[in-house]
């Protein structure tokens, strides 16, 4: 077996080739100067350069090129790192079946996304979108708003992001239930999801995208929510059947919703979602705070230093499950 294909093989005597899939702004990898041969690829050159690389950094969060370009049984990188929490966009069948190690950016986005969810909860409860709209129209219209303390939330996805959302909502005195793949202390199992959704004022989706979770928020589940409830998705776009959500909002089955992720991104200007009543649309920005790309760069460099010295990597994705296990 070619040494490049085996993550457990000894480090090659030749300089390591680190391939970065991405475009400006590029990651800050100055600490690796002289320690790795850093090359760059885009969607059109990735397939050509993959077989000659030891490590691949998927920096372009929107690229789907790796699924098409993975070299199968030929020489290939021994380690792939995704500068994102989700890996469904790169984890094709060939990569999943290979012995290449895959890691992700677990830990970088937890608190920013939790803050974003809290902002959406507060904004919807206090009717801020309507206030801003009335201001643009120069209309003075006094209204009552909703108290957040004492409401109930169901957070779906028990990974670091979901747990951070729970902690942040609890600080607002929201009674919160966390739902994960496996029931355990502090985490409800999937069999309890329908019951918890039916009682919740806020349903927050923060689950990874797998074959089990794809389309899990559909017409049936929106139909079981309270008419006063609101839905937020900061997980992955395909978790939600968008047509069903649009219908639920248009028919006032639920009171409102916010989507930060979508089945197809970027959302086209002719998408009907822009005009769905009660829906807040944001451009996949919930985890992107000032300096987030520097944090991603620093995280990758730390992982690279572990890999280069033969130490065990953290954030290793279970390629069968599609996420980092342990949550």
| Three-state SS sequence of 214-245 | CCCECHHHHHHCCCCCEEEECCCHHHECHHHH
Q: Which of 94, 284, 295, 306 is catalytic?
A: 284
Q: Which of 48, 243, 265, 302 is catalytic?
A: 265
**Is the distance from CB of 105 to CB of 296 less than 8 angstroms?**
yes
Token pair 């909002």: residue: 249
Catalytic annotation on 139?
Answer: no
Catalytic annotation on 264?
Answer: no
Q: Which of 81, 106, 163, 236 is catalytic?
A: 236
Catalytic annotation on 284?
Answer: yes
Helix extents (H) in 137-234: 160-171, 193-199, 219-224
Between CA 212 and CA 260, with CA 46 as vertex, the angle to 5 degrees is: 40
Between CA 211 and CA 109, with CA 41 as vertex, the angle to 5 degrees is: 50
**Is the distance from CB of 124 to CB of 145 less than 8 angstroms?**
no
**Is the distance from CB of 22 to CB of 59 less than 8 angstroms?**
yes
Angstrom CA distances, 265 to 46, 71, 95, stand at 21, 26, 23
Which residue numbers are catalytic? 236, 265, 284
């Amino acid at each position: 077996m070619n040494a490049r294909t085996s993550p457990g093989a000894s480090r090659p005597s030749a300089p390591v080739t680190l391939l970065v899939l991405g475009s400006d702004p590029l990651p800050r990898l100055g600490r690796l100067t002289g320690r790795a041969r850093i090359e760059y690829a885009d969607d059109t050159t990735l397939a050509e350069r993959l077989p000659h690389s030891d490590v691949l950094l998927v920096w372009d969060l929107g690229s789907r090129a790796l699924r098409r370009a993975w070299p199968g049984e030929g020489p290939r990188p021994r380690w792939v790192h995704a500068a994102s929490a989700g890996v469904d966009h790169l984890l094709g069948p060939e990569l999943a079946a290979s012995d290449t190690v895959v890691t992700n950016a677990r830990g970088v986005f937890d608190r920013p996304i939790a803050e974003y969810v809290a902002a959406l909860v507060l904004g919807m409860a206090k009717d801020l979108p309507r206030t801003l709209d009335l201001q643009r129209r120069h209309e003075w219209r006094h209204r009552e708003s909703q108290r957040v303390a004492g409401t109930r939330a169901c957070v779906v996805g028990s990974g670091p992001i979901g747990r951070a959302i729970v902690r942040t909502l609890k600080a607002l005195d929201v009674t919160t239930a966390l739902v994960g793949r496996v029931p355990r202390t502090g985490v409800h199992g999937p069999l309890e999801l329908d019951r918890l959704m039916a009682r919740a004022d806020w349903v927050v989706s923060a689950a990874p995208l797998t074959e089990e979770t794809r389309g899990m928020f559909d017409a049936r589940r929106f139909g079981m929510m309270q008419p006063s409830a609101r839905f937020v998705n900061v997980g992955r776009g395909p978790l939600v059947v968008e047509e069903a959500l649009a219908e639920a909002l248009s028919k006032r089955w639920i009171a409102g919703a916010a989507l930060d992720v979508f089945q197809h991104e970027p959302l086209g200007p002719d998408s009907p979602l822009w005009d769905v009543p009660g829906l807040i649309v944001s451009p996949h920005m919930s985890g992107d705070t000032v300096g987030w790309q520097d944090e991603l760069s620093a995280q990758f460099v730390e992982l690279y230093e572990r890999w280069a010295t033969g130490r065990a990597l953290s954030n290793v994705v279970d390629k069968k499950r599609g996420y980092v296990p342990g949550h």
